[in-house]
Amino acid sequence: MALARRERFEFPDLWRRFFDLDLGAEWMRVEEFMDDKTLVVRAELPGIDPDKDVELSVTDNMLHIRAEREERTEDKEKETYRSEFRYGSFVRNIPLPVGTAIDDVKASYKDGILEVRVPMTEVKQATTKIPVNRS
């Protein structure tokens, strides 16, 4: 029995624009990993101005990333002119582990990647013995 090869169906450009389909793509992809004692969060944000379009904050052990984008394209040909624009905002909330040093969080933007570095402090957990009372 031969297996059918599954290929992604491509709409003609006119239909894709009409329905504004962006199959399989999220606007802001995020990755998280530890680099020694620093949590690194990278967000893919191409084509934005980080000074105007990004807002970062930390509240209740949660890193909030809010970004807005506006994208415009123009096609000028001999006898036709076509202009198109897309805009929108996106928010990601990333839980931070216990021991986050929020006063030392740093962020940078390069080549369409926002990188947030969150230093971790050592958290010493004390063990407390809890007595059990009989009723």
Confidence band of 27 (pLDDT split at 50, 70, 90): low
Task: Using a cut of 0.85, tell me whether the model's pTM lies above it.
Answer: no
Question: 66 with 90: CB under 8 angstroms?
Answer: yes
Alpha helix ranges (H) inside the chain: 13-19, 50-53
Annotated domain spans of the chain: 26-119
Architecture of domain 26-119: Sandwich (2.60)
- In whole angstroms, give the CA distance from residue 8 to residue 55: 35
Averaged confidence pLDDT in the chain: 79
